[in-house]
């Protein structure tokens, strides 16, 4: 009589399987596989060989605290295979003298997460024996055509899933600069922190069985991650702070990687990390989503609308000096705003709306009661289908709202002008396998000024109106108040700009690159487009802005009286000295200059504005010698104080996935005015391939002088 088959040992073949499943960067000792793709394991038996027909081997996989066959979080499937009994597949590979190699495959729609693998062995004569074979982690599979996150292009998969560094574009639409970022999605423990993040969500806390069952859907996962990256409703990863006081945390501009943030969140028992702003929320989201296997990229939208009352109009208020006022409605135009796009099928939407989806973890507005946003189909945004899930109307307003400028004077509001093209410029992301910037604005909207763009805008407006009570939505053509002017012109022809009426053009032009520590020199260009003499009074002002568009008090004002002959152009020179702006500058380094001009014989007013982002000199990083895995490497970091005053409390931070196992922090102390210094760091690279080193220098006067270099690490 044959005795029962006894398992002595299991080899999960982690190293080989992980290479096949593109997870070897995470680990070679733990099994991490992707759904819809087979992986092999070997069972070693204590007492005899496996005998087909005599021994029946049944595998069991379980995920979550309450595994359930009916919910798909528990599966039971036989090596012999009974078609239709389970979507999981087990097939025989090879039979050895005392071993059995088996191929297992998870269905391409099953929940991702941490799984327990068990086996039940039933021999003809012996008792049923059960063994726990081990744990594995199951991830989304963009290489599998049946997976909802399937991405056909291998270069895109390498960029949007496998690349662990990148750039986040910042600055303003006239001065776009790349900020290097270490996503580090394959660094030690990051996968565990990502799964912990899912388990800390409100959905899991309320109903863990249902939450785990829904984790097969990238739409569901993306909404959970979007809510968990901010901490507005839960113990999410980051606290947002758009003020000026970061003394009890880290200034958002200092961060240059996600790993330090996620590890701090985990190490403190999931207490939110202080502080983040939009690019930090988006960067950490990118790390988590790429780690889970969902193709993800980081997107920057310059002049991004935040429309709080869902009428697709951003109202801005000015006083008679041209100073922008705090917005009582909280509508705003952010200098830039950063979100994510994630690639997935959208079987919950009509055909044609899959592909890239907007996901925004920055807590701006609630969605179904939680601070999350998306996934919103990029194609739906372009076509004005603002009634499609999720949060498409809000995403549409970020790229395509109109701007209305109002003059507040004597308790009244006068409409200055309406601008249809200010919001949504130079929508940017890192190019595939290149350090260049891709402009993807055309993915989001038709060309500004085109008939299609206005038709889509009106379609979106009508859809929003249909979802609200009659009369609750102001259309873009209705006047809100009677202007100070008695002239009916601004109401009769709302598209006519004041400069067309007055026939005078005003424009700012910088004379030098606006570098931190230097005076800002610029001119106001005034052009008379008429055949009449023009007497202009122009009020000029400058004020710092916070990143979300909130204005600070003006620190510079001037008044110009300009007389123009017919068709004459004149230049009015301006200068703001470093001593005038230095103490008023926010850490966002944004200065808004504006001019409000009026002509003696016209009630119309002309508003012109320009945003200046002050630049720092970059840190220079030099790799000294060839970079080889497990061989010592010297890295020189060269940095300087750009200011004409001494700075203190200087700290240099350096990191880079595959090169440093943790952030390197060097206390520099004091840097004298314009002093240039360098230091050399030693490290031992532990991963091969293309890598990036990021560096940041902070002091009591500045927080984010950055630099980066790419380095190829050979084997």
Name the strand (E) or helix (H) holding 38: strand 38-45
Does the annotation flag 101 for ligand binding?
no
The number of angstroms, rounded, from the C-alpha of 22 to the middle of its chain's C-alpha atoms is 24
Does the annotation flag 528 for ligand binding?
no
Q: For the chain, how are helix, strand and coil distributed in percent, rounded to 5?
A: 20, 40, 40
At 658, is the secondary structure helix, strand, or coil? coil
Maximal CA-CA distance, the chain: 115
At 442, is the secondary structure helix, strand, or coil? helix
Residues 6+ apart with CB under 8 A from 373: 226, 339, 358, 359, 360, 361, 362, 364, 365, 367, 390, 391, 394, 395
Tokens for 654?
A: 């350096």
- As a whole number of angstroms, the distance between CA 59 and CA 104 comes to 9
The yes-or-no answer on residue 337 being catalytic is yes
Of 179, 278, 342, 650, the catalytic one is 278
> Are the C-beta atoms of 5 and 47 separated by less than 8 Å?
yes
Tokens for 250?
A: 């880290």
> Are the C-beta atoms of 429 and 440 separated by less than 8 Å?
yes
Angle 452-453-455 from CA coordinates, rounded to 5°: 60
Of 360, 391, 588, 704, the catalytic one is 360
Does the annotation flag 453 for ligand binding?
yes
The yes-or-no answer on residue 650 being catalytic is no
Tokens for 10?
A: 């299991």
> Are the C-beta atoms of 182 and 259 separated by less than 8 Å?
yes
The number of angstroms, rounded, from the C-alpha of 282 to the middle of its chain's C-alpha atoms is 2
> Are the C-beta atoms of 593 and 522 separated by less than 8 Å?
yes
Of 21, 22, 306, 337, the catalytic one is 337
Listing DSSP states for 313-358 in one string gives EEEEEE-TTSPBPPPTT--EEEEEEEEEEEEE--TTS-TT--EEEE
Binding residues for Ca(2+): 400, 402, 448, 453
Binding residues: 400, 402, 448, 453
Q: So which residues are the catalytic ones? A: 278, 337, 360
């Amino acid at each position: 009589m044959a005795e029962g088959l006894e398992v002595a040992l299991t080899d999960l073949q982690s190293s080989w399987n992980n290479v096949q499943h593109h997870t070897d960067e995470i680990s070679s000792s733990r099994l991490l596989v992707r759904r819809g793709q087979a992986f092999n394991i070997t069972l070693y038996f204590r007492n005899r060989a496996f005998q087909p027909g005599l021994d029946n081997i049944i595998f069991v996989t379980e995920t979550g605290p309450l595994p359930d066959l009916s919910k798909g979080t528990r599966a039971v499937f036989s090596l012999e295979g009974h078609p239709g009994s389970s979507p999981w597949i087990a097939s025989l590979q090879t039979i050895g003298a005392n071993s059995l190699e088996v191929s297992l495959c998870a269905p391409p729609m099953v929940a991702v997460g941490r799984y327990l693998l068990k086996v039940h062995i039933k021999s003809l004569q012996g008792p049923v024996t059960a063994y726990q074979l081990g744990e594995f982690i199951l991830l989304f599979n963009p290489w599998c055509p049946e997976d909802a996150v399937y991405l056909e292009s291998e270069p895109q998969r390498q960029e949007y899933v496998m690349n662990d560094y990148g750039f986040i574009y910042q600055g303003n639409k006239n001065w776009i600069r790349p900020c290097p970022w270490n996503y580090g999605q394959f660094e030690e423990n990051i996968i565990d922190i990502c799964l912990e993040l899912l388990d800390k969500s409100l959905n899991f806390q309320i109903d863990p069985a249902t939450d785990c069952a829904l984790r097969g859907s990238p739409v569901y996962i993306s909404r959970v991650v979007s809510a968990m990256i901010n901490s507005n409703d839960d113990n999410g990863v980051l606290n947002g702070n758009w003020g000026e006081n970061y003394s009890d945390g880290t200034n958002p501009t200092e961060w240059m990687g996600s790993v330090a943030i996620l590890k701090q969140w985990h190490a403190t028992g999931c207490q939110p990390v202080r502080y983040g702003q939009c690019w930090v929320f988006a960067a950490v989201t990118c790390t988590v989503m790429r780690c889970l296997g969902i193709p993800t990229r980081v997107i920057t939208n310059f002049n991004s609308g935040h429309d709080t009352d869902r009428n697709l109009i951003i109202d801005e208020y000015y006083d008679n000096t041209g100073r922008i006022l705090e917005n009582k409605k909280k509508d705003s135009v952010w200098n830039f705003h950063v979100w994510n796009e994630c690639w997935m099928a959208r079987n919950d939407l009509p055909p044609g709306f899959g592909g890239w989806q907007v996901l925004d973890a920055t807590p701006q507005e609630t969605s179904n009661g939680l601070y999350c946003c998306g996934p919103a189909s990029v194609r739906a945004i372009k076509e004005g289908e603002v009634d499609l899930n999720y949060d498409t109307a809000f995403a549409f307003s970020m790229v395509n709202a109109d701007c209305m400028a109002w003059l507040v004077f004597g308790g009244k509001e006068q409409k200055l002008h309406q601008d249809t093209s200010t919001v949504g410029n130079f929508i940017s992301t890192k190019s595939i396998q290149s350090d260049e910037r891709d402009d993807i604005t055309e993915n989001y909207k038709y060309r500004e000024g085109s008939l299609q763009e206005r038709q889509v805008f009106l379609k979106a407006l009508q859809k929003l109106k249909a979802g609200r009570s009659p009369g609750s939505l102001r259309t873009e053509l209705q006047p809100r108040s009677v202007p100070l002017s008695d002239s009916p012109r601004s109401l009769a022809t709302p598209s006519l700009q004041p400069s067309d009426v007055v026939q005078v053009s005003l424009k700012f032009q910088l004379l030098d690159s606006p570098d931190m520590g230097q005076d800002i020199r610029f001119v106001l260009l005034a052009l008379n487009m008429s055949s009449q003499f023009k007497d202009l009074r122009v009020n000029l002002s400058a004020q710092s802005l916070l990143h979300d568009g909130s204005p600070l008090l003006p620190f510079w004002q001037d008044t110009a009286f300009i007389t123009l002959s017919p068709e004459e152009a004149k230049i009015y020179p301006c200068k703001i000295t470093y001593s005038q702006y230095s103490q008023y500058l926010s850490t966002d380094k944004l200065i808004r200059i504006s001019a409000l001009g009026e002509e003696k014989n016209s009630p119309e007013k002309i508003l012109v504005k320009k945003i200046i982002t002050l630049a720092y000199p970059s840190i220079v990083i030099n790799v000294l010698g060839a970079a080889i895995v497990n061989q010592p490497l010297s890295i020189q970091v060269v940095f300087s104080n750009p200011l004409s005053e001494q700075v203190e409390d200087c700290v240099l931070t350096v990191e880079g996935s595959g090169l440093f196992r943790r952030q390197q922090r060097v206390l520099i102390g004091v840097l004298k005015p314009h002093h240039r210094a360098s230091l050399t760091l030693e490290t031992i690279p532990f991963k091969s391939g293309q890598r990036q080193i990021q560096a940041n220098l902070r002091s009591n006067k500045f927080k984010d002088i950055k630099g980066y270099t790419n380095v190829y690490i050979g084997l």
